[in-house]
Structure 1
Amino acid sequence: MKIFHIIKNNFFLGNNLLKRNNLLKNFLIINFNKFNIIDIKKISIKLFLYKKYIKNIFFKKKKILFVSTKNFLREITYKYARSLEQNFVCNKWIAGMLTNSKNYKKLLNKSILLKKKQKMNFTKKEKNIFLKEEMKIEIIYGGLRGLDKNPDLIILTDIKKDKIVVNEAKRLKIKVLALINTDDSPKGIDHFIPCNNNSIICVKNIFKILFSEIC
């Protein structure tokens, strides 16, 4: 099995045994040196299923929102979101981004106006102020540009770091696909992949598998 060979050395190791969430016990096979060992074969099956699921969403031209505010996972998340021409939030999640979407839409319109002002007859000092304000908006909200309605799926790399995203998705009944570690709770998550989400290599390989046919 190709997937098995790609991932076997990268995300089999979960968190400390003492922190294990019992809801995930069916995905664990043994413990080694006080760490949980994830069952690669079961995860491979999940990846095959989610790969088809995401492919179906993509070809129906539905919207996917990538969210990863974890420092070392931002780059890989940004890379795939841009490659797939999907929306993303990779710096900071502001409360109400989904439940009060009017706010970010107003700010993105303001960003366009600020960009225009930089080409108008203002002083150099004023133009620098406009530039800084524009960049501040773009860094946080720029990845949401073009998202005119709620996404059909949110892909998360860490449900603890971005817990507020999960809560907003639940309120709006938006599906969530999350990478979770062995101490995370899958309760309330629509689709989940148990893995070592503290490993860049692990996340890279999972994304490589999930998006290989559409990226």
Structure 2
Amino acid sequence: MATTPSQVGIRELLEAGVHFGHQTRRWNPKMRRYIYGEREGIYIIDLLRTEALLRQAQEFTSELAARGGIVLFVGTKKQARDAVKDAAERAGMPYVNHRWLGGLLTNFQTINQRIRRLHDLERYQAEGQLDLLPTRERLSALADLAKLQANLGGVKHMQRAPDALFVIDLKVEAIAVREAHRLRIPVIGLVDTNCDPDGIDYVIPGNDDAMRSCRVVADAIADVAAERRLQFLSEEEAARQQAAAAAEADRVAAEAAAAEQAAAAAAAEQAAAAAAAEQAAAAAEPAVEAPAPANTEAAPAEAAPQEDTPA
């Protein structure tokens, strides 16, 4: 179950200038429902709506991070770069804050080859192998490394497509939003009064041109992501340790059973060997002849010689 997200109230939003929209002549009518009014030619965003919708976006992010989901933070305009980078790093999430490479989502396998190239160059540099190259090749490799770090440094540990995007300025990041829609990846967007909110799953009406505004909203999303991700990792580690302990117990029990079986087999083998030895010893003894039975019947008496009687 998701916990209550970190609260960002009206005061924080007001102090950060989240309520300032664009000039009234530069607006998108679809943002009408999020506008409180107009002052000195500038639209004022309804912060009550912003607060409620930010809460919904936080709840979605919390539930996503609780099951190990990935939120890709995107903000390449100057006002958003630092806020996006700091928030994503604190949450342990990937980010793009320099330039969106077309196909980052829809052609991730190809982009992943460039990410592997980045890892290789970073390893070569750490091991000092780049210093061994000829000057021209070394400078070329360093230039390639710098370019890859700028464009892909924030996603170099992202091994699959993200589960959601957090985007600052839908117009600037139109390609990223389009790729997310193609893959049906939910989008959380800080949407100013000049943008089209249609198709954005979690609209956060607010100023996307002020650094403080970008930071307070990015931090609000990152805070719940960091909290729930840490909880997920802790639970995952506990489950891993429990599984390892169970496997160790099974191994010990199996070894004990095997030892018991081996002992029983050895005892049976010894008993069989003893019985065989007894049989062999008995077979080797000489046979003893039985005495002849005594003749109990009396032998017939010899006839006594008869004397001649005188006539």
Tell me if both proteins adopt one fold, taking TM over 0.5 as the criterion: yes
State the Cα distance separating 1:111 from its structure 2 match: 2.2
Distance change >3 Å, CA 58–CA 133, structure 1 → 2 = same
C-alpha contact (below 8 Å) 1:115/1:131 kept by paired residues: no
1:8 is matched with 14
2:132 is matched with 122
C-alpha distance after superposition, 1:115-134 (max 9, x if no partner):
34443383351334322222
2:222 is matched with 211
State the TM-score, normalizing by the size of structure 2: 0.65
2:199 is matched with 188
Q: What is the CA–CA distance in structure 2 between the aligned matches of 1:208 and 1:62, rounded to whole Å?
A: 18
Q: What is the CA–CA distance in structure 2 between the aligned matches of 1:43 and 1:54, rounded to whole Å?
A: 16
C-alpha contact (below 8 Å) 2:49/2:205 kept by paired residues: no
The amino acid that maps onto 1:16 is Q
The amino acid that maps onto 1:188 is G
Specify which of 44, 55, 62 is matched with residue 69 of structure 2: 62
Answer yes or no: is 1:131 the counterpart of 2:142. yes
- The secondary structure found in structure 1 opposite 2:132 is coil
**What aligned pairs does 1:67-146 form with structure 2 within 5 A after superposition?**
67-118=74-125, 119-120=128-129, 122-123=132-133, 125=135, 126-146=137-157
State the Cα distance separating 1:86 from its structure 2 match: 0.6
Structure of higher RCO (CA pairs closer than 8 Å, 6+ residues apart): 1
Identity within the alignment, %: 22
Report the structure, 1 or 2, having the larger helix content: 2
Q: What is the CA–CA distance in structure 2 between the aligned matches of 1:26 and 1:204, rounded to whole Å?
A: 24
C-alpha distance after superposition, 1:69-126 (max 9, x if no partner):
1012101100011111111111111111111112221112122333344433833513
- Unaligned 5+ segments in structure 2 are 1-6, 228-311
**What aligned pairs does 1:16-35 form with structure 2 within 5 A after superposition?**
16-35=23-42
Q: What is the CA–CA distance in structure 2 between the aligned matches of 1:13 and 1:117, rounded to whole Å?
A: 48
Report the structure, 1 or 2, having the larger strand content: 1
Q: What is the CA–CA distance in structure 2 between the aligned matches of 1:96 and 1:70, rounded to whole Å?
A: 19
State the Cα distance separating 1:35 from its structure 2 match: 1.3
C-alpha contact (below 8 Å) 2:91/2:223 kept by paired residues: no
My pick for the range that moved more, 106-115 or 41-50, is 106-115
RMSD of the TM alignment (CA)?
A: 1.9
C-alpha contact (below 8 Å) 1:63/1:152 kept by paired residues: yes
Distance change >3 Å, CA 50–CA 133, structure 1 → 2 = same
How many residue pairs end up in the alignment? Answer: 215
